[in-house]
Protein backbone atom coordinates (compact mmCIF):
# COMPACT_ATOMS: atom_id res chain seq x y z
CA UNK A 1 0.00 0.00 0.00
CA UNK A 2 1.26 3.44 -0.87
CA UNK A 3 -0.22 6.91 -0.71
CA UNK A 4 0.28 9.58 -3.34
CA UNK A 5 0.28 13.30 -2.51
CA UNK A 6 0.66 12.84 1.25
CA UNK A 7 1.02 15.79 3.60
CA UNK A 8 4.09 16.42 5.76
CA UNK A 9 5.10 13.53 8.04
CA UNK A 10 3.77 13.52 11.62
CA UNK A 11 5.61 12.82 14.85
CA UNK A 12 4.08 10.92 17.75
CA UNK A 13 3.57 14.24 19.55
CA UNK A 14 1.72 15.72 16.58
CA UNK A 15 -0.57 12.68 16.42
CA UNK A 16 -1.21 12.97 20.18
CA UNK A 17 -2.15 16.65 19.73
CA UNK A 18 -4.72 15.70 17.08
CA UNK A 19 -6.11 12.99 19.35
CA UNK A 20 -6.37 15.47 22.22
CA UNK A 21 -8.19 17.96 19.99
CA UNK A 22 -10.84 15.29 19.34
CA UNK A 23 -10.86 13.81 22.85
CA UNK A 24 -10.00 10.27 21.74
CA UNK A 25 -7.09 7.90 21.20
CA UNK A 26 -6.64 6.24 17.84
CA UNK A 27 -6.04 2.47 17.70
CA UNK A 28 -2.34 1.58 17.38
CA UNK A 29 -2.59 0.56 13.68
CA UNK A 30 -4.07 3.97 12.80
CA UNK A 31 -1.38 5.82 14.77
CA UNK A 32 1.31 3.75 13.02
CA UNK A 33 -0.06 4.49 9.55
CA UNK A 34 -0.38 8.22 10.27
CA UNK A 35 3.26 8.24 11.42
CA UNK A 36 4.27 6.73 8.05
CA UNK A 37 1.87 8.58 5.77
CA UNK A 38 -0.17 11.63 6.70
CA UNK A 39 -3.05 11.10 4.32
CA UNK A 40 -2.97 10.89 0.53
CA UNK A 41 -4.49 9.00 -2.35
CA UNK A 42 -4.28 5.23 -1.80
CA UNK A 43 -2.87 2.93 -4.44
CA UNK A 44 -4.62 0.55 -4.94
CA UNK A 45 -7.92 2.26 -4.15
CA UNK A 46 -10.96 0.03 -4.87
CA UNK A 47 -12.90 -1.51 -1.98
CA UNK A 48 -15.33 -4.34 -2.70
CA UNK A 49 -17.32 -6.71 -0.53
CA UNK A 50 -20.81 -8.23 -0.65
CA UNK A 51 -22.47 -4.96 0.41
CA UNK A 52 -20.20 -2.25 -0.94
CA UNK A 53 -18.27 -1.48 -4.11
CA UNK A 54 -16.58 1.91 -4.01
CA UNK A 55 -13.40 3.86 -4.61
CA UNK A 56 -11.37 5.16 -1.67
CA UNK A 57 -10.44 8.58 -3.02
CA UNK A 58 -8.49 9.91 -0.04
CA UNK A 59 -6.88 8.87 3.22
CA UNK A 60 -7.60 12.01 5.24
CA UNK A 61 -4.54 13.71 6.74
CA UNK A 62 -4.57 14.43 10.46
CA UNK A 63 -2.93 17.80 9.88
CA UNK A 64 -2.50 19.79 6.67
CA UNK A 65 -1.95 23.34 5.53
CA UNK A 66 -3.70 23.26 2.17
CA UNK A 67 -6.69 20.90 2.46
CA UNK A 68 -9.29 19.52 4.84
CA UNK A 69 -8.25 17.13 7.58
CA UNK A 70 -9.66 14.17 9.46
CA UNK A 71 -9.79 16.33 12.60
CA UNK A 72 -11.91 18.95 10.80
CA UNK A 73 -14.20 16.22 9.47
CA UNK A 74 -14.52 14.74 12.97
CA UNK A 75 -15.55 18.12 14.39
CA UNK A 76 -18.09 18.68 11.63
CA UNK A 77 -19.63 15.18 11.71
CA UNK A 78 -19.47 14.45 15.45
CA UNK A 79 -19.47 17.79 17.25
CA UNK A 80 -21.48 20.05 14.94
CA UNK A 81 -23.88 17.73 13.10
CA UNK A 82 -23.91 14.79 15.56
CA UNK A 83 -24.44 12.28 12.74
CA UNK A 84 -22.22 9.65 14.35
CA UNK A 85 -21.08 8.62 17.84
CA UNK A 86 -17.95 10.29 19.24
CA UNK A 87 -15.96 7.03 19.26
CA UNK A 88 -15.90 6.88 15.45
CA UNK A 89 -13.11 8.75 13.67
CA UNK A 90 -13.28 9.55 9.93
CA UNK A 91 -10.08 8.46 8.21
CA UNK A 92 -10.99 8.20 4.51
CA UNK A 93 -13.62 9.24 1.99
CA UNK A 94 -14.98 7.54 -1.10
CA UNK A 95 -15.59 9.05 -4.53
CA UNK A 96 -19.09 10.18 -3.55
CA UNK A 97 -17.95 12.00 -0.40
CA UNK A 98 -19.07 9.33 2.07
CA UNK A 99 -16.77 8.48 4.97
CA UNK A 100 -14.92 5.46 6.29
CA UNK A 101 -14.63 5.46 10.09
CA UNK A 102 -12.41 3.64 12.55
CA UNK A 103 -13.93 2.65 15.89
CA UNK A 104 -11.50 4.07 18.44
CA UNK A 105 -12.88 1.82 21.18
CA UNK A 106 -11.70 -1.35 19.46
CA UNK A 107 -8.10 -2.49 19.86
CA UNK A 108 -7.36 -3.06 16.18
CA UNK A 109 -9.73 -0.39 14.87
CA UNK A 110 -12.88 -1.92 13.40
CA UNK A 111 -13.79 -0.11 10.17
CA UNK A 112 -17.24 1.18 9.18
CA UNK A 113 -18.66 2.96 6.15
CA UNK A 114 -21.21 5.74 6.56
CA UNK A 115 -23.79 6.14 3.80
CA UNK A 116 -24.95 9.74 3.98
CA UNK A 117 -27.99 9.02 1.81
CA UNK A 118 -29.37 6.51 4.36
CA UNK A 119 -31.55 7.05 7.39
CA UNK A 120 -29.54 8.05 10.46
CA UNK A 121 -29.92 4.66 12.15
CA UNK A 122 -29.09 2.69 8.99
CA UNK A 123 -26.19 4.69 7.60
CA UNK A 124 -23.34 2.99 9.45
CA UNK A 125 -22.22 -0.22 7.74
CA UNK A 126 -19.69 -2.48 9.54
CA UNK A 127 -17.17 -3.78 7.01
CA UNK A 128 -15.99 -6.73 9.11
CA UNK A 129 -12.37 -5.59 8.87
CA UNK A 130 -9.91 -3.97 11.21
CA UNK A 131 -7.88 -0.91 10.19
CA UNK A 132 -4.93 -2.87 8.79
CA UNK A 133 -7.20 -5.38 7.05
CA UNK A 134 -9.15 -2.56 5.38
CA UNK A 135 -6.07 -1.19 3.64
CA UNK A 136 -4.92 -4.70 2.71
CA UNK A 137 -8.33 -5.39 1.12
CA UNK A 138 -8.04 -2.58 -1.45
CA UNK A 139 -7.53 -3.76 -5.03
CA UNK A 140 -6.62 -2.16 -8.35
CA UNK A 141 -9.43 -1.11 -10.65
Instruction: Report the CATH number at residue 99.
Output: 3.40.1580.10
User: What is the number of domains present in the chain?
Assistant: 1
DSSP strand E in the chain: where? 2-4, 41-43, 46-48, 53-59, 88-94, 99-103, 110-114, 124-130
Tens-binned pLDDT, residue by residue, of the chain (141 aa): 899 999 988 999 999 999 999 999 999 999 999 999 999 999 999 999 998 999 999 999 999 988 899 999 999 999 999 989 999 999 999 999 999 999 999 999 999 999 887 655 567 899 999 999 999 999 998
pTM confidence score: 0.94
What's residue 123's pLDDT?
Answer: 78
Q: Tell me which residue range forms the domain holding 131.
A: 2-137
pLDDT computed for residue 115 by the predictor: 86
Amino acid sequence: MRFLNSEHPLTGDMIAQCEKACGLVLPAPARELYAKSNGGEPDPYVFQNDELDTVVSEFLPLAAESRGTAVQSYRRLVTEKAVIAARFFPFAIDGGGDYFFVDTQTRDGAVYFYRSDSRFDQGLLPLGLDFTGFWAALVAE
